[in-house]
Structure 1
């Protein structure tokens, strides 16, 4: 295998056939159509792990309803800065998908559907928090049209499944946004991969990347095994992107880049209850997010979530935390232990001390019985019955652990790791993930291809008109690109924000 004649040359290697690799590949094909692109996926299908719609814990993170992005400060005020940033990034994704739909990259827009996004709290403190959240967000252009609702009658009209059997002596409140969307990232990934295939990319399913090593000329030697035939391939690539979900961590460790020093990962599983009763599914059409339990990690925010998959409506409730040392659903029980290295040992041990609350939460979740899971759902569906729901396992999330002082800190979010010379990059972490994927991949282009980026900018601005600008500071541009994306993505009038907040206190 060391013989140079056996080494295949390619400009770009993408590892993992999920939404991140597919997005980066599509962007590169648009700005640099003469580059050769090679993609490898160890499983036999596109989007088999975190991008699959049943594995993806959140399908449309735009911060319209996710309360973990709007924490309450000690003085009672609500910090909305993270929500605004995430929504800005989601708008970048919408713009690229709109361009892709109009220019033959995507053959269909069935992956995106209008669904209201709703925040839900109860109790006097919860109502007060949602009122403050509404007051802080609704004045921003990106959140125009959000409604504050604390009327039991209005609650019952909009969320009948959640209203049945509810004791409204416990006050309720909603932040309601009509123009949210549900996104099937599995379907979107397959569309982008089909485009890459049509335009000459070499996509190998059933191929596992075994090793990455830097060559003296700055390129990467990528060793790959065909899992069907057992044969090995070796490629030389100028650039490598590791978008392999939880398995990105060990692959980036194998690369030996200094940026991975001190970084570890902690896997957390997600479990959902999926409704199998069509009558119940028909009574709910919204993504309703509540507040996470005290001590629970941000990604555990409970939600009753309408999904649209292959044109069919579905309904999920969760997540319930689980745990396994695997870094992928289809991973190995040795994944976590194999990721412990001398340079991240103290980071990993430090987190074990500082995150005792998380450990306690995970233990309590693992001990939860089927009846206990249904009982937890009663906060959303008071008359929930176990026979209407089945337990499914979502994708694995590997949360990033970074060195901090003598120990480490656990990060919740999406992290892009880029080598100093820009020759390799990878994605670690979880939420908001896929929803802000276009923005993350544009960051990769800017960091990894500084010499080419200036010449790419005109094309990139054609795909993303707001590139380099903040839509929250350019209201006219926001309305222009919003109207364009609604038309391009075939979203109906329900997905058009009313340009005034609406209170409902009747």
Structure 2
């Protein structure tokens, strides 16, 4: 039996979630020992990588799936409020890090960019108008504009309005406080900071097994992928933040909270514009409406992106299917995730989600020409030679038994599974994930360190002034947070300038 190395905290996976939790814990408890194990060669290479997600600072400014129409015709904005408030928490924490000089050059990871929703047809225009009225009266969504006037829309979205039939009914909302976030760059910045603070980061290391020790701590069997040697590491607290790889590790822990949970992998494909003249004509993130039967993560959007200090234009996502749980995963991931305790949950989901299965099969079969047809709903005169296909990240949608949905309900969103004693937590699920990372990791801290949280509260409030308060109910605090984060993160400037 090889010797065991003891540490306070182990983080599995070097993505935005582990980066955020590690940074928070290092601020709260500077003398704790923290170790990170990552299978790949560097941080932020899987779901957090800038090419593997939409790069939208999700604040419910443009995503129509966060607002639903109730049976009486009114609009339910409760989810939009929740997501917006959570994004404000991330913005405050990032500002704190910049002000404290723990990370530098926010322009490298966040840019101001208008967020827009766009719909076609009378019915959807009526819905968008009602949504605009419900949101714009709320302080969180101040500054939102609505227009169905073609002349106004030509100013906002010239590329989308080119060559449209004069009689086409089209409407949009626009808000200038939206952002484009490069989560890959931010993740790498945070890990550089953690390394400078003495955090041990082990790349090319795979966690093969995880089990409970007699003393209640967790023992991990970790394999060095370069040498093939294995080591045993022990920690009082473990966070499993391995993206699609988290489900298998959660199952290995054997905690009851991890049972009856399955995962269904969905991959994303984007079209990327290779023509600089076309890229220059668009400056916004424009979200449309999901097709009937399509899952919420496949809402079509035409996005300006800033990657490697260069302006890009992406359209998508088109859903794809691969049984892998990570882009770098195994073809057996889906199969090996089915266990005696979740097989009925998985089968129930299969029976329930026939329309999703059908949708995914249709998406996988799409030719490039068929994808161009969908793009032309946004850019009527798009040319096939101006666009290339890029495979984005794998997302594992959580399947679990819920009271509302019954057995085998597909969950869209981010789920944190925590052991009853708070000694281990795993993050599963997809969007709005990265945008709400700080809020989600504060939840992990609250659940897993209940004794310390009281003492930590003043320090958390220094980093996140709105902690424990609702910004919507404190308009003065909201204005202050908006102004200071915009100033610190360089979002007050309209157009980014690249040297």
TM-score, normalization: structure 2?
0.97
Q: Partners of 1:194 and 1:318 in 2: how far apart?
A: 32
Q: 1:500 matched to which residue of 2?
A: none
Q: 1:428 matched to which residue of 2?
A: 428
Q: How does 1:80-229 map to 2 (within 5 A)?
A: 80-109=77-106, 110-229=108-227
SS at match of 1:395: strand
Contact 2:290–2:299 at 8 Å: present in 1 too?
yes
Contact 1:57–1:270 at 8 Å: present in 2 too?
no
Moved more, 162-171 or 332-341: 162-171
Q: Partners of 2:155 and 2:401 in 1: how far apart?
A: 50
Q: 1:403 matched to which residue of 2?
A: 401
What is the Cα deviation at residue 291 of structure 1?
0.2
Q: 1:241 matched to which residue of 2?
A: 239
Q: Partners of 1:384 and 1:60 in 2: how far apart?
A: 26
Contact 1:212–1:254 at 8 Å: present in 2 too?
yes
- Alpha-carbon RMSD across the aligned residues, in angstroms, is 1.1
Q: Partners of 2:39 and 2:370 in 1: how far apart?
A: 36
Contact 2:55–2:305 at 8 Å: present in 1 too?
no
What is the Cα deviation at residue 404 of structure 1?
4.4
SS at match of 1:460: helix
Q: 2:25 matched to which residue of 1?
A: 28
Q: 1:480 matched to which residue of 2?
A: 480
Q: Partners of 2:386 and 2:410 in 1: how far apart?
A: 36
What is the Cα deviation at residue 45 of structure 1?
1.3
Q: Partners of 2:265 and 2:302 in 1: how far apart?
A: 24
Which of residues 4, 8, 32 is equivalent to 2:5? 8
Q: 1:379 matched to which residue of 2?
A: 377
Q: Partners of 1:229 and 1:492 in 2: how far apart?
A: 49
- Whether 1:441 and 2:441 are equivalent positions in the alignment is yes
Contact 1:264–1:401 at 8 Å: present in 2 too?
yes
SS at match of 2:393: coil
Q: Deviations over 1:155-195 (max 9, x none)?
A: 11121110111113111111100110100000000110011
Q: Partners of 2:104 and 2:143 in 1: how far apart?
A: 31
Q: How does 1:361-372 map to 2 (within 5 A)?
A: 361-372=359-370
Q: Partners of 1:385 and 1:76 in 2: how far apart?
A: 39
- Whether 1:79 and 2:108 are equivalent positions in the alignment is no
Q: Partners of 2:437 and 2:165 in 1: how far apart?
A: 41
SS at match of 1:472: coil
Stretches of structure 1 that go unaligned for 5 or more consecutive residues are 496-506
Q: Partners of 2:282 and 2:481 in 1: how far apart?
A: 30
SS at match of 2:76: coil
Compared CA separation, residues 168 and 456, structure 1 to 2 (3 A) = farther
Contact 1:63–1:84 at 8 Å: present in 2 too?
yes
Contact 1:179–1:494 at 8 Å: present in 2 too?
no
- Whether 1:66 and 2:63 are equivalent positions in the alignment is yes
Stretches of structure 2 that go unaligned for 5 or more consecutive residues are none
What is the Cα deviation at residue 58 of structure 1?
4.4
SS at match of 2:56: coil
What is the Cα deviation at residue 482 of structure 1?
1.1
Q: Partners of 1:473 and 1:308 in 2: how far apart?
A: 34
Q: 1:459 matched to which residue of 2?
A: 459
SS at match of 2:437: helix
Q: Partners of 2:366 and 2:189 in 1: how far apart?
A: 39
Contact 1:344–1:403 at 8 Å: present in 2 too?
no
Q: How does 1:261-300 map to 2 (within 5 A)?
A: 261-300=259-298
Q: Partners of 2:162 and 2:490 in 1: how far apart?
A: 34
What is the Cα deviation at residue 65 of structure 1?
0.2
Instruction: Flag as ranges the 4+ runs of structure 1 deviating above 6 A.
Output: none
Q: Partners of 2:191 and 2:402 in 1: how far apart?
A: 39
Q: Deviations over 1:360-411 (max 9, x none)?
A: 1111111111100000111100011111111111110100000248731111
Q: Deviations over 1:271-311 (max 9, x none)?
A: 01011111110000100000000000000000001111121
Number of residue pairs matched by the alignment: 492
What is the Cα deviation at residue 323 of structure 1?
0.1
Contact 1:349–1:407 at 8 Å: present in 2 too?
no
Q: Partners of 1:472 and 1:356 in 2: how far apart?
A: 39
